[in-house]
Amino acid sequence: MAKIELNDVSYKYPYTKNQALRKISYNFESGKFYGIIGENGGGKTTLCNLIRGLVPHFYKGKLKGDVLVDGTDIRDWNLDELSAQIGYVFQNPFTQISGIKETVFEEVALGLENLGVPKEEIIEKVTNVCKLLKIDDLIENNPNELSGGQRQRVAFASIISMETEMLIIDEPTSQLDPEGTRDVFGIIKTLKESNKTIILVEHKIDMIAEYCDEILVMSKGSIAFSGPTHEILSNPEIMEYGAMMPQSAIFGHAMADAGKPLARIPITLSEAVPLVKDRR
């Protein structure tokens, strides 16, 4: 059984004319890492909101078709129960921080407290996750007085500490510098290795190329392309749908156009180097 099953799903937000999602059918399998890319307004965040149950439980509007999470229709899920199954890191860390806690420690512990986790266990989990996200030196700080990048790490820590089987992560690195971005992808990689199902919306295509198993390209509320990462990210047609190709793929196509093709189009630097070296 697929973890998430979408059958002919369309959705329109209240008071809007156009559908934000149009006739989407797709299965997300357990334990895989999915990257969602594509043009602004293409429906990426709305798709995440749907899987996470915010559509239709929080955002009303008009939902057609079936969305099944672990075989149960999204309309029948209780939102609190669903959030114990699916962690969601929002695009904007300012939205995610509760605003009611005075220290980073309390903020990260909030979800665990709500689940009734024993105090000792909370201390251990929060301490570990704060170390992992390199915010252990901020543990006593007020989350409302942190920078955007620091808040993003705190938001991420709060979700990771919940140890949900599935994670939806919407542009987790939008506030981070290159080092922070690499750290976050390193953490996502660790999470993937622990067999979690991950859906990541991200514009940093070179990172997507390195880590994801499958890619969805969204455009105008539909899935324009989907498939294994290499197949999708080496296809220049995705650029007509507001998605970028990785630098290595652009280079591979440029070599082919110059009459000096590589054995295949690479999508990462580590794939490109031996192909260039081996070229006669």
Residues lying near ligand ATP in the complex (CB under 6 A) are found at: 13, 16, 20, 40-46, 59, 218
Burial per residue of 40-53, b for 16 or more beta-carbon CB atoms within 10 angstroms, e otherwise: eebbbbbbbbbbbb
Which amino acid, 96? Q
Residue 42 CB, shortest distance to ligand ATP, in Å, is 4
Q: List CB contacts of 84: < 8 A, sequence separation 6 or more.
A: 115, 162, 164
- Between 59 and 163, CB nearer to ligand ATP: 59
Nearest-angstrom CA–CA distance, 3 and 197: 8
CB of 70 to ligand ATP, least distance (A): 24
Helix axes of 269-278 and 247-257: crossing angle, nearest 10 degrees:
30
What's the closest the beta carbon of residue 86 comes to ligand ATP, in angstroms?
17
Spatial separation of the C-alpha atoms in residues 275 and 269, rounded to whole Å: 10
Burial of 32 (C-beta count, 10 Å sphere; 0-12/13-18/19+):
middle
Min. distance of Cβ 186 from ligand ATP in angstroms?
Answer: 24
**Considering beta carbons, is residue 30 or 92 the nearer one to ligand ATP?**
92
Minimum distance of ligand ATP from residue 175's CB (angstroms): 14
Residue 254 phi, psi dihedral angles, 5° rounding: -65, -40
CB of 125 to ligand ATP, least distance (A): 31
Rounded distance between C-alpha atoms, residue 63 and residue 183, angstroms? 37
* Pick 45 or 229: Cβ nearer ligand ATP: 45
Closer residue to ligand ATP in complex, CB, 176/255: 176
Residue 53 DSSP one-character state: T
**Which C-beta is closer to ligand ATP: that of 20 or that of 154?**
20
* Shorter beta-carbon distance to ligand ATP: residue 134 or 203: 203
